[in-house]
Structure 1
Amino acid sequence: MARIVIIGAGISGLAAAARLATLGHRVTVCEASGTYGGMLGRYERDGFSFDTGPGLLTLPAVYRDLALKSGREPLEQLVELAPVAPESRHLFPDGTDLLLPNASRGGVAQALDEAFGPGSGERWGEVMNRARTVWEATRRPLLEEPLPADPGPLRTDPYPAPPRRGLARFSRRTSTLADVAQRELGGHPGLTALLYEYALRFGLSPDEAPAGASVLPYMEQSFGVWYVTGGNRALAEAVYRRCEQRGVEFHFDTPVTEVLVADGSARGVAAGERRFEADLVLSAVDARTLARRGIVPGLDPKFGEGPSTGRLTVLLALRGARPAGTAYRTVVHARDLERELDRVFERPGLPEYPTVQVHRPDDPTLRPDDAHEAATLTVTVPDPDELAELAPDFEAYADHLLDHLAATGIDLRERVLWREVLPPTAALLPPSLAGADGRFLNPPNDSGIPGLYLIGATVHPGGGLARAGMSASITAAGIGPA
């Protein structure tokens, strides 16, 4: 039995703790805040509850595996889980209204034909077929297994070159997501906005992200999107309960100030004057924080650094019942997509008429009664540190967002009882992607220091709820049973 200390009680830390305790290890978790869950936070007021992190779950198989491996029971016995229908509604600046079905590529093609004209679904489907090739090539090395010791092959984008005819034969190959939009989607504004939205959600610039980033819509449209009753915070609660059942010891309000290294190996952690000795240490906190704050002696201060963006969130407590037939997720696309990308990635500032995610769950546990509704707006914005230097007025911007939505037919302004604006305080974290000479590969789980492992959204296999869970699974499997 190894003594294992985990830094951070976010979802990856919880998942690793549950797995390792089940394998017979003695596990202690040190968490800087007063609660668990990390990005799966919750805001509660006056009978309303809101997820402050991701509201939907993709690849639920990751947490089904966790439930079975740590307790031999299906995930559905721990949380109430259901596929979202429709997967999303999309409102475009030209007035087009698109409903996408969940986990039905054929249904998506039909919906695109109806919204954008015949042939649109086929064109999109051809891109998704090539994205399937990316999925098949990268699923194991970029999701299910440790980052290869030699990641060289992953520096090349597995996105297959589409057939090129005429003068196109002499142009450079498709290398970025922007190339895919221009060459394979014909620059169609609606299809381009749809493709870019998946990248923007993860803080990826279409001009920089490899063509293989098309795997993101492929995964959602092939495997579906799911909702956890009570929000994803309920998932964190379930995993925390499993940790308690397996004897994991938690210390909250205990920020780790140093990883203790002796004879070149991690031997525990310091939290101020407190010491927690260990045979192994797992860090589930932002890897860049470890480097910048000197928590790990000798770790390069630039470890894990890269381009970053943030997410602005507005929580809305609404009077009046949720209208029947309202989609859980509506995406209001930017009035001027290129201008939005310029403000997010090139000239930092709040985009004027941005792409807005509107989440309106039909969940009685999140509202005081059926005469009210809880809704959440999210917008991708520039790097939080850069944005903070501009000192934007987020309250005025929230008013502007409500006006922006009203112009598309979603007028919530007269229904707002109160709102809470959550300024962006953390960077969006993209998944590991092949191509672009390895620029989109996250650091490996092996820190390079014996006895110290890194898990969570800032390392392999990258950002997103499913991948954070997979980082825990990969690392726990590498450590093995006691």
Structure 2
Amino acid sequence: MTRAVVVGGGLGGLAVAARLAASGQQVTLLEATERVGGKLGTVEVDGFRFDTGPSLVTMPLVLERLFADTGAPLRDVLDLQRLDVAARYRFGDGVALDLPGERPAIAPAMDDALGDGAGAQWEAFLAHAQRVWDATHEHFLESPVSPGGLARLSLRVRDLLAVAPWRSLRGVGDRYLRDERLGLLLDRYATYSGSDPRRAPAALAVVPYVEQQFGSWYVRGGLRRLAEAVADRCRALGVELRTGARVTAIDTVGDRVSGVRLDAGERLAADVVVANADASTVYGPGGLLPHRASARRLARTTPSSSGFVLLLGLAGRDPATPHHRVLFPPSRAAYDAEFDAYRSRVPASSPTVYVHAPDDPALRRDDDGEGWFVLVTAPRHDPAGGVDWDAPGLAPRYAERILDVMARRGLDVRHRIRSCTVRTPADLERETLSPGGSIYGTSSDGALAAFLRPANRSPVAGLYLVGGSSHPGGGLPLVTLSAEITARLAREQSARV
């Protein structure tokens, strides 16, 4: 029986552990913190419970495959609910757009909110995005990355024209979207991978397509329940889940892995090691298994942005509060200034504000209050060369600024605040061991970013990478796909040995 050790208990690690165990491997998962789930965290404050990571499920078919391949189907385990309104977008001119959760309703809603013709512009863009999806999802998103995969894609001229690796997401959007507000809406999707729309590849057009084609979904009880459900599946399959178990090194014998070492001196033998950790933590100097060539490759990538968060416990409830809300800056120029600030490693003075306010009784203490997760994109924690988010007074001052920005954009809740908890990129780094608090590992900035992202199969035999910093990228659906690809590669190796 193949012995597999998974290092890290985020969603990617949990999902690959479940898949390996379901295939008959003996699996041990080691998590350095006291609970599994990684960025799928939760915090309780003053009777409110907040999801502190992802707030949305897209591509639910990926999760359905995970559960179907490892036991009882998803519908028997979690209550996924499709959102009628994916998000309420508030633009700089004060216009609000409630974006429907069903694609056929989107164009009419855009015409009603933004004027005749807006829906046709967006539908033309989505038709292009569908061509990108058709060209990439099988041969790239659901397959191991390799130079050969890039070559196969390049041989299909129509697919290459659709993907347009020479063009940015902003550039492809400008071909279809004449309304600046639609351009802002598209730009927002680049931030789903911690990227700048002016530098992110045009292939990211698949992000809005996937969300709007397959729907925006919420897990009743909070998305933390997804991590708990996959952990339960692991236990049912016989996976040994160990928390508080920090791995300090991955051992090798000859040219292949032989096990891992823990900080307490313990050593676990393994035929397969899967690292659900940031690739720089694995390959970099002082990492789990330093690898010079891989470290040099990583040095060519751009770390993704992080996030600055307010957890607001509010008095009173507004039944019209949308599940998701986005407050844009006054103009695209102001939005560009926000991205320029991140690249300069300073907090933006007037950032886009994202609010997650689920109407879920399981997350609030009573019917006379509501909990809001307020997020703005922020530069990573980098005391040496950027922002020191632990600097005295910085976090509370920036929290006040965010509340002021919300008020200026028509969402003043300062008089309703019962509790306000601030979470900075430094907090995220400490809690998830993600360097600098980068949410997605590396950003997607640059035409070759996807192919610079570390592959799931490492250069060392028996070692694999899974999760947001490896192929195909960050976010719930891609991390789950990463686990699917990695488990398949590990099983194929075990069958050859």
State the TM-score, normalized to the length of structure 2: 0.89
SS in 1 for 2:217: strand
Corresponding position: 1:401 with 2:379: no
State the alpha-carbon separation in 2 of the partners of residues 434 and 348 from structure 1. Answer: 16
Tell me the SS of whatever aligns to 2:81.
Answer: strand
Indicate conservation of the 8 Å contact 2:108/2:119, yes or no: yes
Whether 2:343 is the aligned partner of 1:332: answer no
C-alpha deviations, 1:125-159, integer Å up to 9, x for none? 11111111110000012221222352433886947
SS of 1:436's partner is: coil
The structural deviation recorded for 1:183 is 3.6
Contact 1:12 1:472 in 2 (8 A): yes
**Structure 1 position 174, deviation (Å):** 7.2
Task: Name the CA shift for 1:388/1:435 in 2 (closer, same or farther; >3 Å).
Answer: closer
2:432 aligns to what?
A: none
Equivalent of residue 356 in structure 2, options 342, 354, 359: 359
Matches within 5 A, 1:332-481: 332-335=327-330, 336-345=334-343, 347-385=344-382, 386-389=385-388, 391=391, 393-424=394-425, 425=429, 426-429=437-440, 436-437=447-448, 441-480=452-491
Alpha-carbon distance, 1:432 to partner: 9.1
Verify the 8 A CA contact 2:194 2:439 in the aligned structure 1: yes
Give the partner amino acid of 1:175: R
Partner of 2:44, secondary structure, is strand
Q: For residues 62 and 362 of structure 1, what CA distance do their matches in structure 2 show?
A: 25
Equivalent residues of 2:195, 2:445 under 8 A apart: no
Is 1:215 paired with 2:214? no
CA distance in 2, matches of 1:430, 1:197: 18
Q: Does the 8 Å contact 1:88/1:331 carry over to 2?
A: yes
Does the 8 Å contact 1:444/1:454 carry over to 2? yes
1:132 equivalent in structure 2:
130
Q: SS at 1:326's partner residue?
A: coil
- Structure 2 CA distance for aligned equivalents of residues 432 and 281 of structure 1: 25
> Would the aligned equivalents of 1:155 and 1:436 in 2 still touch at CA under 8 Å?
no
Give structure 2 stretches of 5+ with no counterpart: 430-436
Question: Which one-letter code corresponds to 2:354 in the other structure?
Answer: Q
1:34 equivalent in structure 2: 34
**1:91-111 superposed Cα distances (whole Å, 9 cap, x missing partner):** 01111110110131x321112
TM superposition shift of 1:369? 1.1
* Structure 1 equivalent of residue 287 of structure 2: 294
SS of the equivalent of 2:298 reads: coil
In 2, Cα distance between equivalents of 1:201 and 1:68: 27
How far apart, in 2, do the equivalents of 1:373 and 1:154 lie? 51
> Paired residue for 1:12?
12
Is 1:228 matched up with 2:219?
yes
The alpha carbon displacement at 1:440 in A equals 5.6
Q: Which residue of 2 aligns with 1:109?
A: 107
Higher mean displacement: 221-230 or 44-53: 44-53
Deviation, 1:202, is 2.0
Q: How far is 1:264 from its partner?
A: 1.1
Q: 2:118 aligns with which of 117, 120, 134?
A: 120
SS at 1:313 equivalent: strand
Identity within the alignment, %:
38
Classify the secondary structure of the residue corresponding to 1:285. coil
Name the CA distance, whole Å, in 2 between partners of 1:245 and 1:270: 26
In the alignment of these two chains, the number of paired residues is: 468
Unaligned runs of 5+ in 1: 163-171
Tell me, yes or no, if the aligned pair for 1:291 and 1:302 is still in contact at 8 Å.
Answer: no
SS state of the match for residue 247, structure 2? coil
Q: Distance in 2 between matches of 1:343 and 1:215?
A: 26
Native 8 Å contact 1:5 1:30 kept in 2: yes
Post-superposition CA distance 1:377-433 (Å, at most 9, x none): 111122332542484712111112112112222221111111111101311327997
Taking the aligned partners of 2:469 and 2:49, their CA distance within structure 1 comes to: 27
Is this contact kept in 2: 1:261–1:297, CA < 8 A? no
- 1:240-251 pair list within 5 angstroms: 240-251=231-242
1:89 corresponding residue in structure 2:
88
Q: Secondary structure at the match of 1:301?
A: helix
Q: Name the SS of the counterpart of 2:20 in structure 1.
A: helix
Instruction: Give the CA deviation at 1:196.
Output: 0.4
Aligned to 2:312: 316
Equivalent residue number for residue 167 of structure 1: none
Counterpart position of 2:51: 51
**Contact 2:51–2:222 (CA<8 Å) still a contact in 1?**
yes
CA distance in 1, matches of 2:367, 2:355: 19
Structure 2 counterpart of 1:282, one-letter code:
V
Q: Please, which moves more after superposition, 378-387 or 29-38?
A: 378-387
CA contact (8 A) 1:154 1:438 kept: no
Task: Return closer, same or farther for 1:117/1:441 CA change in 2, 3 Å cut-off.
Answer: farther
Q: Does the CA contact (< 8 Å) of 1:286 and 1:458 recur in 2? A: yes
Q: Distance in 1 between matches of 2:45 and 2:447?
A: 45
Contact 1:258–1:296 (CA<8 Å) still a contact in 2? yes
Deviation per residue, 1:283-339 (Å, 9 max, x gap): 111111112332114354345342121111111111112x11221000001232122
Change (3 A) 1:115 1:427: same
Q: What is the CA-CA distance between 1:121 and the residue it aligns to?
A: 1.2
Residues 173 and 14 of structure 1: CA distance in aligned 2, closer, same or farther (over 3 Å) = closer
What are the superposed Cα offsets for residues 32-60 of structure 1, whole Å, 9 maximum, x if unpaired?
11110001011113321111111111111
Which digits, 9 at most, give the CA deviation of each residue in 1:326-364, with x for residues without a partner? 21000001232122121122x221111211110000011
Q: Tell me the TM-score normalized by structure 1.
A: 0.91
Conserved 8 A contact 1:16-1:473: yes
- Tell me if the contact between 2:193 and 2:444 (Cα under 8 Å) persists in the aligned partners: no
More helix by share: 2
What is the rounded CA distance, in whole Å, between the counterparts of 2:329 and 2:193 in structure 1? 16
SS across alignment from 2:373: strand
